[in-house]
Amino acid sequence: MKKHEYSVIIKILLISVGNLVTGAPTDGLKIFGGQDAAPGQFPYMVSIQNCRESTCKHECGGSVLAPSWIITAGHCACEGPQCQVVAGILNMSETSEWRQTVEVEKAHVHEKYLNFLDAYDISLLQLKEPLTYNDRVQPIPLPKSNWSYSGEAVVSGWGRINGNYDANIPDTLQFQKSTVPKNDECMDLIAARMHGQTNPFDVTRNVCTDNAVPDRGICSGDSGSPLVAEGVVIGLASWAFTPCGQAKAPSAFTRVSYFVDWIHDHMNSTDSTMY
Ligand SMILES: *[C@@H]1O[C@H](CO)[C@@H](O)[C@H](O)[C@H]1NC(C)=O
Ligand SMILES: *[C@@H]1O[C@H](CO)[C@@H](O)[C@H](O)[C@H]1NC(C)=O
Ligand SMILES: *[C@@H]1O[C@H](CO)[C@@H](O)[C@H](O)[C@H]1NC(C)=O
């Protein structure tokens, strides 16, 4: 089976630009201003895990679109017995009857996705068996094609909760309310941090959260995790500045509304009675 670069999966792209001031992590910080989620609060949220020698490790977040379909970032794509999706959990260590674990049968990575900096950072994971929907496992709807949104949104994930990107992940799912600025504002906010280097933000295929105050935003382990507004998934965590949690360092997400047709094409053209 084809594998997609495991070495990069756990990373939110780490852009190092000069000597940026490090936002020294505060002890006890939760996903940069985030807080513990409640059971069933994010029923679409899944953990994508890499399994080696019967040990599975969280790599990325994803969202349930249909019983056999998960949406995540392109750099999170994986398939085969070493790639599994865990749904229905709040705590990573949870062994309750809600926990559902399914192998990924096939990864559909966007054809134009080549590496981290590409704005086509999106993939669909087709599961070997369908998930069972219940109070803890539910799909999240897609936005309308090309829907443009700015305002409040919520991001959830099991990514690192301090500035050290190889720190342990939290056991309990974290979430945070964030402001999504208009896209040209994202462009400017990110440009202001690039110190003349090429701005990787793509106004048609990315969306950002502004992280106006310190200790906000995504970190490694949050890759692929959903940004949700008005009940639909508008973004997939793609990249962020390192160290994580610096004020005015936006987090970048794949803009899901741009890819709605691509998503439907892949889900419909694949022989799946589960969709
Ligand atoms: C998750 O972990 C927290 C903190 O350890 C604990 O209070 C809570 O009961 C756990 N919830 C579930 C659903 O396992
Ligand atoms: C969405 O926007 C892109 C870029 O502007 C455009 O090429 C595409 O046709 C649009 N799709 C729809 C369904 O409007
Ligand atoms: C694919 O499926 C979606 C959801 O059922 C539907 O809205 C869309 O029209 C379908 N597209 C095609 C090309 O069949």
pTM of the model as a whole: 0.87
Catalytic residue from among 121, 202, 210, 215: 121
Task: Give the model's pLDDT for residue 247.
Answer: 86
State the closest ligand 2 atom to the C-alpha of 260, by its place in the atom list counted from 1.
13
CA distances from 72 to 33, 50, 122, 234, 261 (A): 23, 14, 6, 12, 16
In this prediction, residue 47 carries a pLDDT of 97
Question: So what's the pLDDT on residue 33?
Answer: 62
Cβ–Cβ under 8 Å, residues 77 and 111:
no
Q: Are 34 and 174 in contact (CB under 8 A)?
A: yes
User: In 3-state terms, what secondary structure has residue 250?
Assistant: coil
Which ligand 3 atom sits closest to the C-alpha of 264?
Answer: 1
pLDDT tens sequence across 39-51: 999 999 999 999 9
Tens-place pLDDT, residues 67-94: 999 999 999 999 999 999 999 999 999 9
Q: How far is CA 45 from CA 29, 123, 217, in A?
A: 22, 15, 17
Distance 170 CA to ligand 1 centre (A): 12
CA of 177 to the centre of ligand 1 (A): 21
User: Which residue out of 47, 63, 68, 75 is catalytically annotated?
Assistant: 75
Known catalytic residue at 223: yes
Give the position of tokens 């500045």: 241
Enumerate long-range contacts of 246-249, CB under 8 Å, 24 or more apart.
246/20, 246/21, 246/22, 246/23, 246/211, 246/214, 247/23, 247/211, 247/212, 247/213, 247/214, 247/215, 247/216, 248/189, 248/192, 248/193, 248/210, 248/211, 248/212, 249/20, 249/193, 249/211, 249/217
Give 175-226 pLDDT, tens digit per residue: 999 999 999 999 999 998 888 888 889 999 999 999 988 888 888 889 999 9
Q: Which amino acid residue places its CA nearest to atom 3 of ligand 3?
A: 264
Partnered with residue 227 across adjacent β-strands are 155, 235
CA of 144 to the centre of ligand 2 (A): 11
